[in-house]
Chain A
Amino acid sequence: MFLNVQLPWNVIIPAENLDAKGLMLQRSIIIRLLDEFASKKATKELGYYFALTTLDSIGEGKVRQHTGDILFPVVFHGITFNLFRGEIIEGVVHKVLKHGVFLRCGPMEHIYLSSTKMPDYRYVPGENPVFLNEKLSKIGKDVVVRVIVLATMWLEVEREFRALVSLEGDFLGPVSSF
């Protein structure tokens, strides 16, 4: 699920980047914020930091004592992405293994659908391995599957989330309209 959140942030501009003209300063702040936002990637509390949308306000700059940099408190709106336990999502299969498949949804790539959570589907090995059921419904690379989220996990070192999903439920499974 994508969320539109308002966040406070502190942007630090090195003294040498400061310009007398106000417009250049705002530009510096935006660029700095864009870079930091992009490199942040994700947090445990809010999920993935996907895109910055608006810069709402720039507060008064404060000089930092020892470095001479200026700290600007800003408030902005950004789009974040999070998966919730019990949420139903549509993901694209990007990897097929003997015991399950990996789906991609939004910025998340490590969404695992285990074969134990794909009732009636069995693994068919080959150059393009797939999972197949009796009605010849296929789950393979690039197939869109609607699943329910069983659990999510935050990995501190990689700064990433993992998720476990399942096909067990009504109206879940491969989706053909894409």
Chain B
Amino acid sequence: MTAQEVRLCGLLLREHFGEVVEKVGTHLLKGGAQNLRTIIHETGISLDLVKKSLCVLVQHGACVFRSGRKGAGSPTEYQTCCDRILRILRYPRYIYTAKTLYGDTGELIIEELLQRGHMTMSGTIKTVADRLTQNMEEGRSMDYSEVSSAFFRLVETHFLQRCPPLAGAEPKDSATPAAPAPPGTPAAPVGVWNMLTHGDEGICWQVNFERFHLHFRDQAIISAVANKLDQTSSEIVRTMLRMSEVTTSPTATCTKPLSANEIFRSLPTSYNIPRPILDQYLTLLIDDPMEFVGKAGESGGGMYVVNMHRALANLARATLESVVQERFGSRSARIFRLLLRKRHLEQKQVEDFAMIPAKEAKDMLYTLLSQNLVQLQEIPKTPDYAPSRTFYLYTVNQLPTARMLLQNCYKTVANLVERRLFESKESKRLLEKSQRIEAILASLQASGAEPEQLTEVEEMITAPEKQQLEALRLHINKLDSAENQVDETIFLLESYINSTASTS
């Protein structure tokens, strides 16, 4: 848990749960596992508020509790982890993915579950159906069966999962990931949904972030193939990934081998490519230096796999290169790429290979070195490390550099959030005034006022104030959008780092 991560987690907790939860959460993050009395004593917050904050944190999965380490009688200890809180940045992306896959119903289900942490199935379905009914026209109402079928589909594809049972809880019948059979489908008249008769209290469902991350990873690979090669190749890769969705474990290095015949049969019918063309495309994919697809054998017309870990490593490498390019220029990026490929190079060799004059190459190398993107490795010729008799080689290590950039990303997002809070605070008076005027307008319109009254109220905001509000809104939107986009980079780098951790 680095300082940047803790700072970002604190800001996210403050925005979504309030300052009390922020204090308790950051205290837990900095201090490790603690019991209730310690938290109260060290934060100085009252007992009730600390209890409520811990309830909120546990409800949202940010905090886990277990009995104390000192033995059976010691008080329960609470522990928080950064990862779960940092996921909050990605919530809009999860909701949007659910919308693209399962429509508005799926979107609302995921949104409700993200807002509440975890809920029972009946509770979710009721809330979502009510929300949908509100947005529909008069007289129509949402059918509960439609919402519950969307719920079942989400569970079947593992986007939703059951909350893990607590250690020490009564053993319940382990329900399969497929949804438990609802005790009787709802009666024909819509609205008869007596929650008390549905015996699913205690069975809580939560969003399965790992499954969403696998989906994002697949999407990243497919779009990379589409950018590098062409649309048809990306469709082939998409087919391969879809076929191996269920058979591949999340931490696998590559998918199970698929024969070319199977791929040919599973291609979408809109892509009417003949068999030899498919073989040519597959050969192209294998020869590509990005190594998305590999050949695993010759049987069945050729066995092909998608290399997950190598694809992630290449995507992370592309991210690092683009960072260097945007910050230091394309020639520094050339040096960086050279060092990535050739591993260790001397000063002279760098100048020669990169075809950059000596003075400028020196300058760029030192800039990169001072930013810690490039490291210096000493190789002594003699045991006494004399400077005149030592080789000094420049090198780039991809994994540590990726970690460093990831921390930079966290710092960036924290800065963006702070700036946004600062901007809102500066214009607080103006924002409150505009909110009040909107409320007045709304109430006037509801009670049926004349247009002159409405314009009179609208004119209470002067023109320069309107401009100020408009500029403020633009700034805040930009900052918010930037946070979303930095989060995409965070996702790539995190996936890469996690993939190396599982293999090593």
The finding on whether chains A and B are genuine partners in a shared complex, rather than unrelated, reads no
List B residues at the A interface (Cβ < 8 Å): none
List A residues at the B interface (Cβ < 8 Å): none
